Structure 1
């Protein structure tokens, strides 16, 4: 097993007033040649948007964009005619493909909206743009890793144009579990949303990231109540 740790305190950071954001990988004005990506995982942004504010209409192409709300209500509008509000428990995916315009706004005027914005490089270019979202029940992730993203439309969760699998879990202190790689040539990126976790005896804390390659199975021990996101991705597109 090979691994690389990205401690929360080493992430890129920008505070634009209306947007307070942390970048695990190079993004915007944060550029670190050693932190460009983890395989096809290109962007992992941890965003807080002020009340009533948001991202105006802007374009994307040839990128799989996954949004995971953590708190508050995020309003989405796009050039395909979709208008939706996503909240904690929702998983949103947008295949930008041949090109799409969209906006994201904090729907509320009295509280922050917090969400993860994740970009995955696709394995097909110029596909027809698409949008989808699902809602999880809190029980779906209790002491288990629930699949939320896969390459297959018929599988659990939303699907993307890439041989990648995401899992999300909420674990009680003292619990243990494991994760078996879908493809041994893939890498696994572990992102700790809350709590303290040991992964094959590597200790991680809140908002730490751990990239793992050349592994078949990973063992997890939860030192405190924890929320963890797993992203299994190809290391080359």
Structure 2
């Protein structure tokens, strides 16, 4: 088993006034050669956007882009005619593929929106661009892994062009379990949304990130009431 620890206070940070963003990996003005990606996971941004503000229309291609709101509401529009509103409990995916222009804005003019912006390298290039969003019940992740993303359109959650699986979990203090990896050669990047946990023997706290690979499973114990995001991704792609 190999591991990689990114404590919350080592992340890149940019505060633009309207946008307060923490970067787990190199992004925009934050360039750390030691933190370019974790396998196929390229970007993990922890963003807070002020009321009435947002990212204006801009373009992407050949990237799988996932947005997970933590509080508030986020509004999406793109050049393919898609328009969606997402909030806590929702997961949004956009396969940029051959190219798409989009905007992501705070739907509220008075309240902040907090969300995770996640990019994964795809396993296929120049696929047709697509958009999807789904809503997930909070009770379905209480003391269990709730799958919210997979590579299979017929499986639970949104799907992307990569052999990746995302799970959310809300664990009570003292709850212990084990995560079984879905695919040989994958690794798992665990991001602590709230609380404290011990993963593969490593104590973790709020907004810490922890990568684990060269293993088939990892032990997880909640040291307080804890919310986790587990991102299983190929280490070679």
Is TM (by shorter chain) over 0.5?
Answer: yes
Task: Map residues 44-55 of structure 1 onto 2, 5 A cutoff.
Answer: 44-55=44-55
**CA positional deviation for 1:140:** 1.3
CA distance in 1, matches of 2:236, 2:6: 20
Deviations 1:5-54 (A, max 9, x none): 00000000000010000000000000000000000100000000001000
Counterpart-to-counterpart distance in 1, 2:172 and 2:109: 33
TM score, norm. by length of structure 1:
0.99
Q: For the residues of structure 1 that align with 2:3 and 2:138, how far apart are their CA atoms?
A: 31
Alpha-carbon deviation of 1:214? 0.6
2:43 is the alignment partner of 1:43: yes
**Separation of aligned partners in 2, 1:44 and 1:227:** 16
Partners of 1:150 and 1:123 in 2: how far apart?
Answer: 13
2:137 aligns with 137
Match of 1:32 in 2: 32
Select between 175-184 and 59-68 the one with higher mean Cα deviation: 175-184
Deviations 1:86-106 (A, max 9, x none): 000000000000000000111
Alignment partner, residue 189 of structure 2:
189
- In structure 1, the partner of 2:76 is 76
Q: Cα offset for 1:116? A: 0.1
Residue aligned with 1:80, SS: coil
Q: How many angstroms apart in 2 are the aligned matches of 1:111 and 1:227?
A: 23
Matches within 5 A, 1:1-237: 1-237=1-237
C-alpha separation in 1, matches of 2:179 and 2:29: 35
Aligned residues: 237
Q: 1:144, 1:206 → 2: CA distance?
A: 19
The answer on whether the counterparts of 2:185 and 2:236 sit within 8 Å (CA) in structure 1 is: no
* Partner-residue secondary structure (3-state), 1:140: helix
Once residues 182 and 191 of structure 2 are traced to their aligned partners in structure 1, the CA distance between those partners, rounded to angstroms, is 18
Between stretches 177-186 and 157-166, larger displacement belongs to 177-186
Separation of aligned partners in 2, 1:216 and 1:148: 20
Instruction: Supply the distance in 1 between the matched residues of 2:131 and 2:83 (Cα, whole angstroms).
Output: 10
